[in-house]
């Protein structure tokens, strides 16, 4: 840190910012917003003593226990809060997928309605602008770049007017869509060049997805484990990775593409591409403040596939720590004042079986069987010849009975009665109860009731008719074979809501804050740092980070 403070002081003097090394630059040339997908506060705290790279450095900035304060703790809703300052109730992004009763179909959060292109992706479902949009409007020379392994993460952080939005598509490499931002030859050229060079290297020498040796700490976690019907040796490299073919045409094989995502090599590859974009577009050297939004995805893929408590996540934590160290070194080399904020789209919990081994009352719920049981009960009680309850998520249930309001009310009341009698269910709220549960202004995020958490996720046109909170430590999903999820997230419980929020810049003094903040506080704080106005938001500016007005 002494080296960094000295380096920033010299850079500040050269840029006419002498004396500002102890505080955030009043107008940095570059703001970097980072999300680590499925990075729970508990996971951060567990591995914090082991970090030696970028996460160690960022943790030595201004560190908060943060919250995705709403109930819909999934990738798309969570990312929609980070740079908008709005809860999902304002962004309209209530889930990764929601059921549209009017069309009788599921809607993917970044799918584009009204186009014949099934690959079309964009922010059209996002009801509000992002910090990047505010920045470009206030400072026309500003530029916005957003990159992720997932389309929904890149698009939600990129906003409506990004200069370039990229995500990884299996078998193709990095790509974009004209609905997400410019898809001109100039924007596509670096992605095509990077993809071609990467695939050529892989063909010459197939990539090694997992290390052959692990640290002593990770080795302690190498134990046989059963998740549902899946039996794993618990060794590194994982059993599934060992079975991947790397012979002729392996790049086109779905098993390779799948295992590449679920490996600690996915994030470093994304950083390789990010460095290409930084160099090509001279990010940080534009006429005004640039925004670079990055969402790293490996944590989420590994957490779902193997859980957060095994050697796989241990290896991943070391990898993302080193990847972020590389990123900071790259940013230092730009010789411009910059700041970083790091957070997550949601938290998570380890697989139910391993959680139970550690003394938690953890168990699994089969979502398909659960909804079927509910529909069977409704059919019997109300003499219905069809299934009245639909939805991809048993936590958000939609009633699909057509325009008959009286029948809809009967189905709702009967469903709520059945749900409240189930031991797996903790709380049940109707749409009216959820709408009425708006949190009082200024209520601490730690004290929000479950109804208030659902209120922050509720959109009248997109949310379910019934919100269901299952018992604590419930994992929704029944793994039956290789590739199935063994762990998940998406609940209103704190292990899914609580995430780190770290603000860092060269010269910052370490400050571990005790008061919690929310991800919706990030955008107004960055606006204050950038010296631009903040529109109406749900969050507040964090005064220990910026000169709030």
What is the token pair recorded at 174?
């990095």
SS3 label, residue 143: strand
Reply yes or no on whether 449 is catalytic.
Answer: no
Please, how many CA atoms are within 13 Å of residue 413, restricted to the half-sphere of its CB?
8
What is the spatial distance between Cα 370 and Cα 427, in angstroms, rounded to a whole number?
A: 16
Query: Any alpha helices (H) in 366-455, and if so which ranges?
Result: 367-382, 405-420, 431-435, 450-455
User: Residue 495's closest CA among 7, 17, 44?
Assistant: 44
List the beta bridge partners of residue 363. Answer: 474
Helix axis angle, 131-138 to 522-530, nearest 10°:
20
What is the spatial distance between Cα 495 and Cα 304, in angstroms, rounded to a whole number?
A: 15
CB 298 within 8 A of CB 271: no
What is the spatial distance between Cα 39 and Cα 299, in angstroms, rounded to a whole number?
A: 7
Buried-state track 398-418, b at ≥16 Cβ within 10 A, e below 16: bbbbeeeeeebebbbebbbeb
394 φ, ψ (degrees, to nearest 5): -65, -10
Buried-state track 234-251, b at ≥16 Cβ within 10 A, e below 16: bbbbbebbeebeeeeeeb
Using left for φ > 0, alpha for ψ between -120 and 50, and beta otherwise, residue 536 falls in: beta
**Rg (alpha carbons) of the chain, rounded to whole number:** 23
Active-site residue, selected from the candidate residues 6, 50, 73, 75:
75
Please, what is the end-to-end C-alpha distance for the chain in angstroms? 30
What is the token pair recorded at 64?
């908060």
Residue positions annotated with a catalytic role:
75
């Amino acid at each position: 840190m002494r080296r960094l403070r000295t380096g920033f002081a010299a850079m500040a003097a050269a840029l006419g910012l002498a004396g500002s090394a102890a505080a955030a630059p009043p107008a940095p040339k570059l703001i970097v917003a980072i999300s680590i997908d499925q990075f729970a506060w508990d996971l951060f705290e567990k591995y914090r003593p082991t970090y030696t790279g970028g996460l160690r450095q960022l943790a030595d900035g201004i560190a908060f226990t943060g919250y995705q304060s709403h109930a819909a703790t999934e990738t798309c809703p969570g990312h929609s809060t980070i740079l908008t300052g709005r809860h999902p109730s304002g962004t309209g992004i209530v889930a990764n997928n929601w059921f549209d009763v009017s069309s009788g179909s599921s809607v993917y959060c970044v799918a584009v309605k009204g186009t014949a292109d099934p690959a079309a992706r964009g922010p059209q479902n996002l009801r509000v602008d992002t910090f990047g949009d505010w920045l470009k409007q206030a400072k026309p020379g500003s530029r916005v770049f957003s990159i992720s392994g997932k389309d929904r993460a890149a698009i939600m952080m990129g906003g409506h007017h990004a200069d370039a939005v990229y995500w990884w598509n299996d078998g193709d490499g990095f790509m974009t869509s004209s609905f997400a931002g410019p898809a001109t030859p100039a924007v596509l050229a670096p992605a095509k060049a990077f993809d071609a060079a990467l695939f050529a290297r892989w063909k010459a020498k197939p990539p090694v997805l997992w290390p052959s040796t692990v640290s002593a700490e990770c080795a302690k976690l190498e134990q046989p484990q059963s998740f549902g019907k899946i039996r794993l040796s618990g060794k590194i490299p994982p059993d599934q990775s060992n079975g991947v073919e790397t012979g002729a045409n392996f790049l086109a094989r779905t098993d390779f593409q799948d295992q590449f995502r679920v490996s600690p090599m996915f994030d470093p590859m994304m950083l390789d591409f990010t460095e290409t974009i930084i160099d090509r577009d001279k990010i940080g050297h534009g006429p005004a403040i640039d925004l670079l939004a990055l969402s790293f995805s490996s944590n989420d893929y590994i957490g779902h596939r193997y859980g957060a408590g095994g050697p796989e996540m241990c290896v991943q934590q070391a990898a993302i720590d080193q990847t972020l160290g590389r990123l900071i070194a790259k940013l230092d080399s730009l010789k411009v004042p910059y700041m970083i904020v790091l957070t997550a789209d949601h938290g998570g919990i380890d697989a139910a079986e391993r959680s139970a081994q550690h003394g938690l009352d953890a168990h699994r719920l089969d979502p398909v069987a659960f909804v079927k049981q509910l529909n069977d009960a409704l059919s019997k009680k109300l003499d219905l010849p069809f299934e009245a309850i639909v939805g991809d998520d048993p936590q958000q249930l939609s009633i699909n009975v057509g325009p008959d309001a009286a029948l809809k009310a009967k189905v709702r009341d009967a469903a709520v009665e059945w749900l409240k009698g189930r031991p797996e269910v903790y709380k049940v709220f109707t749409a009216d109860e959820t709408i009425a549960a708006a949190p009082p202004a200024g209520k601490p995020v730690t004290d929000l009731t479950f109804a208030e958490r659902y209120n922050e996720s509720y959109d009248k046109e997109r949310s379910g008719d019934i919100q269901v909170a299952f018992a604590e430590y419930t994992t929704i999903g029944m793994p039956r074979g290789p590739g199935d999820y063994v762990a998940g997230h998406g609940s209103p419980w704190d292990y899914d809501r609580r995430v780190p929020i770290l603000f860092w810049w060269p010269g910052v003094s370490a400050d571990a804050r005790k008061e919690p903040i929310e991800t919706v506080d990030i955008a107004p704080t960055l606006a204050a740092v950038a010296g631009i106005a903040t529109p109406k938001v749900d969050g507040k500016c964090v005064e220990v980070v910026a000169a709030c007005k």
